[in-house]
Amino acid sequence: MKYSRLLLLICTLFTLPALAGVTWEWQTFTNAIDTRQILAGDSSIWCATNGGLLRYHPNTRVFKAYVNTDGLAGNDITAVTSDHHGRIWAAIDNGAVNVYDPAKNNWHLIQDYAGHMIHRLTPYGDSIFVSLDIGVSLFDAKRWEVKETYKIGETYDTHFVGRQIWSAGPKGVYASNLDLPNLMAPSSWRQYTVADGLLANEARALLWFQERLYVGTTQGLAYFADGAWSPGEFKGRIISDLDIWQDQMVIATSEGVYWHKATDDNRKLGPSLPNAISIAVDASGQLWAGLDNNGIALYNSTLQTWEPLKPEGPADNKFTALTFDKSGNLWTASSSAGISRFDGEHWQIFNLANKKLPSNDYRCLAVDSKNRVWAGSWGGGIAIFTNQGDSVAISTLSSKDGLAGISVNANYVVITGLSADEQGNMWILNYEADNKQVLAVVDTLMNWQYFSTRDGIRSSLLLSLEIDHAGRKWIGSQGSGISVLDDNNTPFSKSDDDLSQGLGSEDGLLGLTVRSMAHDRDGIMWIGTPEALHYWYDGEVKPRYQVINDDINVIAVDVRNNKWIGTSGGMSMFEADGFTWHHFSTSLSPLVSDNVTSFAFDENTGQIYIGTTNGLSCLQTPFTRPASNLNSLSGYPNPFIIDGSGVQFYIDGLAENATVRIFTPEGRLVRHIPMAQIYGARVAWDGRNDRGDWVASGVYLYLVTTEAGLSGAGKVAIIKK
């Protein structure tokens, strides 16, 4: 396709050092309600969850999540325990183990089990026995080293009865004695299966109680006494965990939590508590349960009820789309848990579970001219959210309201793209619409117009939508490249439409499945496919190399014209200078996951939110929208105390192309911050002069000038300690 443009020189790209003076600051947000194991500490309840190590303080009723940006080697925690020094041990799904010392507030990393799955950590004296996918490993917590590993097969739990060691796994129960000379020899272990009396080979939990060893299996409870196994209660039920409470055995089953008295009387604790996966008793004698995908619960023995407790967070850890509304709220879409809204402090969730939405699978978001948030779903049409203070009103659009379902189900409406144009119209990709009207536009009065494959759109399998600065609609498809609709900005009059343009393999696309497109301030259209990152300019398509991974999921352009590219292997940022690349992955940065699926920019703060398939990252950048003038120029903190703590002085409210100079009261220049080092409306000063030395205490003047001739000034008092 050909469109006349001024020629832009695209130079060969190479990676340069980080942005001058910029420190990348990260924050992680996760859903942490999928509890794998619960630990009752002296004053806290610790939870191994899918979204980090969770700490609950019963006295304050406050959750605290420890995630990768707090020092963990990952966020998917599989096991948690404490040793006799009060240290908390947490196993990560990648095999790393983090040890937290609350007294010192620091983390220690153990990587001896990297690449293995750890199911349980069991303290024994100065050692930790690690139940993992290849057997049981003895870790010496004094020397911080693996002493030996017993490769008996995968184990889920390890328990000690005196010097006897018992392990449960998917192929039965294993037993040995710590006094044997060589536990690494398979002959040192005895294996028990259903042939020996177990109710099932898959054994998940062990407990010594009333002179018997009990084992919880996927088919009920069994016990070992007098050298033989006997069937116990709860036949046919999955037993996940065992503990002792009020001198009785407590059992977590697939249908709730029970206790078993010596009289063989089984009693259910409270009403149904489905998905109890772990149980624990704290120092005050209270019973706690960790729930599969439902947080934790505290048992009230007086009322005989369970009190559910959940940490705040997004609906889940799969993020398909992100956007900010005009009130500064972050909206997130999930493919399995609906829509979430984050106001900077609290999360609000809308989905099937709370009966707010007709679907849990949402793929795209957009904000209209009325500050309503539109969410497109896979099968449930469109949900429209209207902010009403602290509450939100929700309306929907479906097959009864101008949209079409797929051929096999007229009510199954799939929406894969939403974008608002400058006229206030909302453009909609109606994937595989049975009536072939796969592109729709609706105005603020709910008038509709449609464009179909019969009009020239290349495919009904549409995936991505971008509106360029001229108002043309670029429509990416699954397997058929790009269609371009030039409607001359008259969407409700089709007489002047042009749908003859488009891009395919003959034009240079290396892949015809177009997942994302973004138009930058230089008039370049960036195109992402599973095969490569491309750019279109002046009628030509070329691949752009040097991105961290060629499997492109999403592309976005920030307010300073930097390009952000999310891939299945991390993300890259291509600076507006046309030369410089920055790459981020879990191995190079605190990015929460390498599979990056969505971006959203807060133009006022410079924060970029990064959606992945395993959590949400927030990266603080200097890229903010410059002010239109210098009327709001300010500096803070004032006074600026230089004490070596890293606190900086910020000059905010800068206009485009600003330069900052800092002077003594006598007019001597001490620091010059050139325009090339200012990336938005704010710049930081560390209190040093141009030679790198700390300035003395006193009152200083900061002067701001711009290329457009604007100027502004302010004063700051500096106290040097």
**Nearest in space to 671 (alpha carbons), one of 697, 645, 699, 693:** 693
Q: What percent of the chain has pLDDT over 90?
A: 89
What is the C-alpha to C-alpha distance for residues 60 and 303, in angstroms, rounded to an integer? 22
pLDDT digits (tens, 9 = 90+) for 137-173: 999 999 999 999 999 999 999 999 999 999 999 999 9
The per-residue pLDDT for range 56-104, each reduced to its tens digit, is 999 999 999 999 999 999 999 999 999 999 999 999 999 999 999 988 8
Token code pair at residue 226: 């007098």
The span from the CA of 592 to the CA of 17, in Å, is 23
Order of strands, sheet of 516-519, starting from the edge strand that comes earlier in the sequence: 516-519, 525-528, 533-537, 540-544
Contact 450, 439 (CB under 8 A): yes
Asked whether the beta carbons of 702 and 660 are under 8 A apart, the reply is yes
Q: How far apart are CA 381 and CA 399, in angstroms?
A: 7
Mean pLDDT within 496-520: 96
Tens of pLDDT, residues 296-319: 999 999 999 999 999 999 999 999
Dihedral angle computed from the Cα positions of residues 525, 528, 529 and 535, in that order, rounded to the nearest 10 degrees:
40
Residues 6+ apart with CB under 8 A from 388: none
The residue to which tokens 């410079």 are assigned: 606
Read off the pLDDT of each residue in 426-443 and give the average, rounded to a whole number. 97
The Cα angle at residue 93 between residues 74 and 37, in degrees rounded to 5: 100
CATH 2.60.40.1930 fits 634-720, yes or no: yes
DSSP-based three-state secondary structure for 678: coil
Question: Tokens 């772990």 sit at which residue?
Answer: 278
Query: 190: which strand partners?
Result: 175
The pLDDT assigned to 608 comes to: 97
Do residues 602 and 538 touch, judged by C-beta distance below 8 A? no
Residue spans of the domains in the chain: they are 24-151, 504-625, 634-720
How many CB atoms lie under 10 A from the CB of residue 530?
A: 16
Mean pLDDT of 502-518: 97
Contact 174, 189 (CB under 8 A): yes
- Provide the token pair at 339: 């829509």
Among 407-421, 563-577, 643-657, the range scoring the smallest mean pLDDT is 643-657
- pLDDT tens sequence across 447-484: 999 999 999 999 999 999 999 999 999 999 999 999 99
Cα separations in angstroms, 90 against 74, 95, 478, 549:
10, 10, 42, 31
β-strands 649-652, 640-642: how paired?
unpaired
User: How far is it between the farthest Cα atoms of the chain?
Assistant: 93
Q: Is the peptide bond before 626 cis (omega within 30 degrees of 0)?
A: no
CA dihedral angle for residue 356, residue 357, residue 359, residue 362, rounded to 10 degrees: -110
pLDDT of 11 over the 50 cut:
no
Q: Which residues pair with 640 in a beta bridge?
A: 718
Confidence class for position 232, pLDDT limits 50, 70, 90: confident
* 24-151 shares its CATH topology with 504-625: yes
Contact between residue 318 and residue 360 where contact means Cβ atoms under 8 Å apart: no
Residue 91 neighbours by CB distance under 10 Å = 33
Nearest Cα to 124, choosing from 84, 170, 72, 79? 84
Helix or strand or coil: residue 68?
A: helix
In this predicted structure, what is the pLDDT of residue 15?
36
Rounded Cα–Cα distance for residues 314 and 612 (Å): 12
CA distance 573 to 446: 38
- Report yes or no: 71 and 62 within 8 Å, Cβ to Cβ: no
Q: Is the pLDDT of residue 264 over 80?
A: no
The stretch 491-509 carries a mean pLDDT of 95
Residue bearing tokens 């940490």: 311
Tokens of 240: 């996940």
b (16+ CB within 10 A) / e for 61-86: eebebbbbbbebbbbbbbbbbbbeee
What order of strands is seen across the sheet that includes strand 266-268?
239-245, 248-253, 256-260, 266-268
CB within 8 A of 541, min separation 6: which ones?
A: 503, 507, 508, 509, 527, 534, 535
Per residue in 588-617, pLDDT tens? 999 999 999 999 999 999 999 999 999 999
Supply φ then ψ for residue 162, to 5 degrees: 65, -125
Q: Which residue reads 């010596």 in tokens?
A: 262
| pLDDT number for residue 261 | 67
305 SS3 class: strand
Which residue type occupies 407? Answer: S
Residue 166, Cβ neighbours under 10 Å: how many? Answer: 24
Q: Express each pLDDT in 328-370 by its tens digit.
A: 999 999 999 999 999 999 999 999 999 999 999 999 999 999 9
Do 652 and 627 contact (CB within 8 A), yes or no? no
* Closest to 273 measured CA to CA, from 300, 308, 244, 249: 308
Answer positive or negative: Cα dihedral of 196, 201, 206, 207.
Answer: negative
pLDDT above 70 covers what percent of the chain? 96
Q: How far apart are CA 374 and CA 531, in angstroms?
A: 30
Q: What is the pLDDT of residue 644?
A: 82
Determine the Cα–Cα distance for residues 345 and 347; give it in Å rounded to an integer: 7
- Residue 200 pLDDT > 90, yes or no? yes
**Distance (Å, whole) CA 366 – CA 583:** 27
Considering Cα of 10, then 14, then 17, then 22, what sign does the dihedral take? positive
CATH number for the segment(s) 504-625: 2.130.10.10
For residues 59 and 48, what is the distance between their CA atoms, to the nearest angstrom?
A: 20
For Cα atoms 221, 226, 227, give the angle at the middle one, nearest 5 degrees. 80
CA distance 474 to 360: 28
Please, which residues have CB within 8 angstroms of residue 153's CB and are 6 or more apart in sequence? 134, 135, 169, 170, 171, 174
Backbone angles phi, psi at 70, to 5 degrees: -100, -5
User: What is the C-alpha separation between 556 and 519, in angstroms, rounded?
Assistant: 8
**3-state secondary structure labels for all residues of 421-436:** CCCCCEEEEEECCCCC
DSSP state string for 12-34: PP---PPPTT---EEEEE-----
Chain centroid offset of residue 176 CA: 42
Of the pLDDT bands very low, low, confident and very high (cuts 50, 70, 90), residue 8 is very low
For the structural domain made of 24-151, what CATH number should be given? 2.130.10.10
> Which residues does residue 24 pair with via DSSP β-bridges, in sequence order?
none
In angstroms, rounded to a whole number, what is the distance separating the alpha carbons of residues 675 and 606? 17
Q: What is the pLDDT of residue 263?
A: 55
- For the segment 526-565, what is each residue's pLDDT rounded down to a tens digit? 999 999 999 999 999 999 999 999 999 999 999 999 999 9
Secondary structure of residue 35 in the 3-state scheme:
strand
- Whether 249 has a pLDDT exceeding 80, the answer reads yes
